[in-house]
Chain A
Amino acid sequence: MVAMKHPSGKCLRICALALTTFFYIAILAQPNRALAQNEAAGEPWYTQWGTSLFTGSNVALLDVRSSPGWISGLSVSGYLQNTTGMWANSAALTDFGRAAGEHHGANSLSVERNLLQLDTNYFLNGDNRFFLRFWGVYEPPYPWEEHTIAGPTGAYDKSQSSFYNRYDLRDAFWSTTNGPLTLFLGRQIVTWGESIAFRVGDVVNPQDLSWNFGFANLEQSRLPLWMVHPFLNLPHLGPFGANFIEGIWTTPWQPAYTSVDYADQRYQGQYDVAGAVNLLPPGGGRFDTYPYPYTITAQAPRGVQAAFPQIRGSVSPSQSYRLPADTWANSTEGFRLHTLVENAEITALYWHAHQLNPTPFVTGTSQSVQNLQFRYPDLNDIGVTINRPIYLQGDFLSSMPFVLRSEAVWQDRTPFNTVNIARPSGVVYSSTLNTLVALDMDNVNAPWLSSTGNLTTNLEWNNYTILSPNKDMVYSGYAERWRHNEENLLFNATTSWWWGAVAPTAVGIYNPDGNTWEFFPSVVLTPPWTNKYLVSLQYIGILSNDKYSSYAGGVFKGKSIFLMQFQYNFNLIQGKS
């Protein structure tokens, strides 16, 4: 693991390089330092900049837009963000996973994440642009995790002092336009589909779920992929307008060198492709799920179903990961067609790839050693999405800004674990149908709620149907059976007061399985005198009567968190955009 060596040294080198570059640009741009905004006040630029640090807005330290030559297209900005979180009930969490061998402390610190995001945009001309996003993350060792991370043998005896730290390029791409063709080349995130919370048509990028709850932090958990990503405009065709086709080809080579240093060394020797799949939390980590204590029959009390009854021995199986290898066959590809007809925006997509979440396969035979190997089988997705505003008649309804969104994705061969002992691998396949219907009300004028803001609500109903009639399918690693129709209902409402200074959001996802609720309300506070910094307060609560409910989220039961996030923006260089 090359990148794991001397992380602090590497970080220092990167920081030094960044600083040198910045000062080089500063010197280069000095004669052309526009800083017109600063000069405008008749005060020295450094005085104004100092003031702007605390009370000002987003004036760039260097404005190079009017500088001659290549530098005029360079923009560098970003933010520093600290997220501090506390368990809502840390004492109760000492028992979290105890039956499976985890032994947590009662320490209340759940999150202490420090993030530096640095965006570099380079505008060469109207047809050529570059974008780089750097992420530097530092998280301290967590006492709650001390000695409770699963090691190579599956025993909970490790700690992860630097697992959550990262210092890497997140997005890095060049976009070039030539006539009707626009090509994006590099590391990118592509989001398809209509949902704001569920992954239905959003099939392209994996997620890093190791440091957060993905349901409450979809964007920041996405993992970019190296890809070739063209858009081709298509001509109007009768009533079909805004036509284009978008293609994606991702390389099998998707390296990840930070946040993959698991104590169980699951990706040993596979770091060149570790970025192609979801990064799961380390076993016993803060965002790990409630483990099922009875993996094999020999461990289970009489009458209790084991997760893998196919394993006949009495020794806990070892676990290994077989990531999609770095071969041409493991590249992924797909396309999406887009059109606009009769005020309805419609897309159709095809996606050939591998699963992003692993499925444990039982390897070996009952006569030999049996183990678990996590694999990522291939898949084909076919989907369609549609949205359109709904205009109704009548005094009241005509002013209601309804938008209907819907999407459906059929997958040909989804792997499921089974408790059927006639399946030695412990895996069966079924096609699945993932659908969503959503109704939005955008920017409702609600003077009874806010005279300076509006009200936006989203209601989403997600249905996941397993088309096979098989009744033995269980959640991976659990003995709890899949429902053939899994339902999730999301409600989101947001408003603002004092011209956006106080912006509360109420979000909840309900799943009837175990009456599971995932709440993640938040309020963002932005001072009226500046938006250079802001504070967000959030509660993430998981309530459930079923702690083995993997799909509904009951497996996080008890891990409710209070979060406070402080963000400070900076704008180092402002160029043309």
Chain B
Amino acid sequence: MINKAPVLVGVMLIFGMAAAARSQTPPAPAAIPPGTVINPLNWRQYKAFMSAGLTTLFEGSTFWKMPKDLALEVGPTVSIPLPKKYLEDTEKYSAQVQLIRLPTGGYVPKGYVAGLPFPKPLQGDPALIGQRIFWNSYYRYQPRVQHAPGYTYTLDRYGNMTQTSESKSIFSQLAFLSDVDFPRTVSDAGPYYFARYTEQIAPEQGKYSAVLDLTPADPTALDELYEYVPTLRKSLRLSQAARCAPVFGSDYLIDDQNDGPPGLPQLFEITYLGEKKILALEHANPAAFQSPGTPAQLDQRYYYNGASGVIPFPKPAMGKWELRDTYVISLKRLPQFAKGYCYAQRVLYIDKENYFGAGAVDLYGAGGDLYKAQIVFLYPAPIPGTTHDVAELLTGPYTGLLVNFRNKHATVEPNLNSCVNAACAKDGYLDVSRYASPEGLMKIVR
């Protein structure tokens, strides 16, 4: 009887080596040379530079896939520095900021005045690196006021892509300001850090409806929320306690509305996962933000069409992607607050240069599945009254794409070119009583 064992071992070795060779991908390059074009055939070479959401879209292993003829051009990385005044304030005030542990187990900064609270986040207690990066992102530079027309498109599993609403947003920073020509705190604005005013322009059944979201200067407090309801001709007081409730008609939840950081950060365990270069479209073509697109698609000069299972994604005309250095942090609700929360984990890729945290966001469900992913495409807007300062705005030339893998749905929110600070004065957007106070809601259709 022939002993077959050596033969079997040999065969297994041969197959094993072959399988190993098949699964081997080329070693990840340290960077992507400018001029590289990434497409559905070669994307795996650059997987190391992608967020989980972008990777999943390229893989096509879920309902949503990239357009077949996708071409993603990579250009050189262009600096997006923080504004000069903000950096001066960072230097001036950051030394007095410290993280305070709350009885809940979470942390909040104490002594914050302006600028970055923690300019060297990797220094200090290693266990709190994630916290320091998060709070830098929370207080990243935003101008005193910014305004942009915004649109919402939704895409369902049957390929219905519709411009569901048009609105105008006026966002006001009311405290901790680092803007030339503006005081540190806006007088008569109350105890608030930030105000988000959004008024619907279309469709007609929702016209004039408006939401005012006032974020208290105390980060542990819930936002105060007011809504003007045209059919009642008055505003209603709302509560933000239900953090996981969907925003009507979209894939965003209440806790997603801050484009990255969730509300009540003191309820989260924030972990630093390391550094990563990721592909981002942060110098998009400004011309792409002149119009949102057609009634049933984004602007086809700049975006591939959305269809059933196919995500609307930027075309090369939208601009060149670049590699951005990011800190990767993970946010999980502390165990005592985790029950019933919408996500098991939120992974933020926070830009190391300017702490913009919304470029890519991965949102995981309770089962560890990738529930949603957000990717944004934008360009930094110039800040009036400064020489070369720019900022990545919350509402401005900015398109947010939120892909809902679980429910096979997607929301795209293109915002157009905006006005910032003094440029908004002629339209009255600096008026706190109109755009950053409940009083303003009483002046709509009155």
Which A residues contact B (CB, under 8 angstroms)?
34, 36-42, 48, 51-52, 55-59, 77-79, 119, 125-127, 131, 171, 173, 175, 177, 180, 182, 184, 188-193, 196, 218-219, 222, 229, 231, 233, 235-236, 241-242, 244, 246, 338, 340, 343, 345, 387-391, 395-396, 398-403, 405, 440, 442-445, 451-454, 496, 498-500, 528-532, 534, 567, 569-571, 574, 576-577
Contacts and interface: CB of A to CB of B under 8 A. Distances in A.
Contacts of B429: 126
Nearest to B288: A40
Interface in B209-232: 222, 224, 230-232
A453 B230 CA distance: 21
A528 B290 CA distance: 26
Interface string B404-430: 000101000000000000000111110
Contact of B232 (A126, A219, A242): A219
Given A57-B295, A77-B202, A500-B248, A177 B162 contact: no
Interface in B85-121: none
B245 A36 contact: no
B238 interface: yes
B237 A387 contact: yes
B427 A576 contact: yes
Given A55-B295, A244-B433, A442 B239 contact: yes
Contacts of B340: 395-396, 399, 445
A57 B188 contact: no
B260 interface: no
Given A41-B300, A399-B243, A496-B248, A532 B254 contact: no
Interface string B379-414: 000000000000000000000000000010100000
Contacts of A193: 234
Given A345-B438, A395-B339, A445-B342, A55 B296 contact: yes
19 contacts: A34-B291, A37-B294, A37-B299, A41-B297, A58-B163, A126-B427, A171-B445, A189-B446, A196-B236, A338-B439, A401-B241, A402-B239, A443-B245, A443-B254, A499-B251, A529-B160, A529-B296, A569-B203, A569-B205
Contact of A398 (B234, B241, B427): B241
Contacts of A532: 203
A399 B446 contact: no
Interface residues of B, number: 76
A79 B154 CA distance: 23
A529 B434 CA distance: 34
A196 B437 contact: no
A569 B203 CA distance: 7
B190 A242 contact: yes
Contacts of B233: 189-191, 219, 222
Contact of B224 (A131, A343, A529, A571): A343
A125 B238 contact: no
A291 to B, nearest CB: 31
Nearest to B439: A244
Nearest to A128: B428
Contacts of B237: 345, 387-389, 403, 405
B242 A442 contact: yes
Nearest to B438: A242
Nearest to B340: A399
A103 B217 CA distance: 67
Given A48-B295, A58-B202, A231-B443, A443 B300 contact: no
B295 A454 contact: no
B190 A340 contact: yes
Interface string B251-284: 1011000000000000000000000000000000
B207 interface: yes
Given A37-B292, A191-B232, A389 B241 contact: yes
B162 A530 contact: yes
Contacts of B249: 496, 499-500
A525 to B, nearest CB: 12
B300 A40 contact: yes
A535 to B, nearest CB: 12
A104 B330 CA distance: 71
Given A231-B439, A395-B340, A499 B250 contact: yes
Given A40-B300, A190-B233, 20 more contacts: A36-B290, A37-B291, A48-B295, A56-B163, A59-B163, A59-B295, A77-B202, A125-B427, A126-B427, A131-B445, A173-B446, A192-B234, A196-B236, A219-B232, A242-B190, A244-B439, A391-B241, A401-B240, A443-B238, A576-B427
